[in-house]
């Protein structure tokens, strides 16, 4: 598809590999997992307002020995209420949310492939990625937008360009 017709947006989504690694996602039925547990309004709003089926996703492993990009995924849609917020036994339980006024949403993410690890140090070497959200000091947001330019630079790194 010509780049001019490519209306995808791009995202970076963090997951702890202990919970949902790229390998785990790839081994799920249809390689698709529900992106549960988002408990930040900005991240929720990205899911609710901006994500479209087919958008590209950089699959990030966080809170681990070597944080970085470990795979490529796509937004598979099916935006819905995140059931984990109502379950007191769930680590993502939110006592302030209620079924008649749910706070949190989930959607499906389909893993496409594992990549070689693109670690933070390597990403920081790329001047074109200097403004990438995930590389900014103090960034904690688990879902961040990725620009088309950043996406292309990362594709290039993965292809050895």
Binding residues (CB under 7 A) for DNA: these are: 14, 39-42, 60, 62-64, 67, 96, 120-121, 134, 136-142
- Is the CB of 2 or the CB of 88 nearer to DNA? 88
Q: How far apart are CA 146 and CA 131, in angstroms?
A: 10
Is residue 84 within 8 A of residue 93, CB to CB? The reply is yes
State the Cα angle at 126 between 46 and 109, rounded to 5°: 30
CB of 136 to DNA, least distance (A): 7
Q: What is the C-alpha separation between 84 and 38, in angstroms, rounded? A: 10
Q: How far is the CB of 96 from DNA (least distance, A)?
A: 6
Instruction: Return the exposure string of 106-117: e unless at least 16 CB atoms fall within 10 Å of the residue's CB, then b.
Output: bbbbbbbeebee
Q: Which is nearer to DNA, 53 or 141 (CB)?
A: 141
CB nearer to DNA: give 3 or 65.
65
CB nearer to DNA: give 140 or 161.
140
Residue 142 CB, shortest distance to DNA, in Å, is 4
Distance of CA 109 to the CA centre of its chain: 8
CB of 41: closest distance to DNA in angstroms?
4
């Amino acid at each position: 598809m010509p780049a001019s017709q490519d209306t995808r947006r791009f995202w970076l989504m963090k997951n702890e590999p202990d919970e949902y690694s790229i390998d785990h996602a790839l081994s799920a039925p249809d390689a698709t997992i529900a992106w549960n547990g988002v408990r930040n309004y900005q991240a929720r709003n990205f899911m609710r307002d901006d994500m479209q089926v087919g958008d590209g996703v950089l699959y990030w492993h966080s809170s681990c020995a070597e944080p970085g990009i470990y795979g490529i995924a796509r937004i598979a849609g099916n935006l819905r209420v995140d059931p984990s917020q109502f379950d007191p036994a769930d680590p993502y339980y939110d006592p302030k949310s209620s079924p008649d006024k749910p706070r949190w949403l989930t959607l499906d993410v389909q893993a496409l492939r594992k990549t070689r690890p693109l670690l933070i140090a390597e990403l920081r070497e790329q001047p074109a990625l200097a403004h990438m959200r995930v590389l900014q000091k103090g960034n904690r947001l688990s879902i961040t937008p990725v620009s088309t330019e950043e996406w292309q630079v990362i594709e290039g790194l993965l292809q050895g360009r």
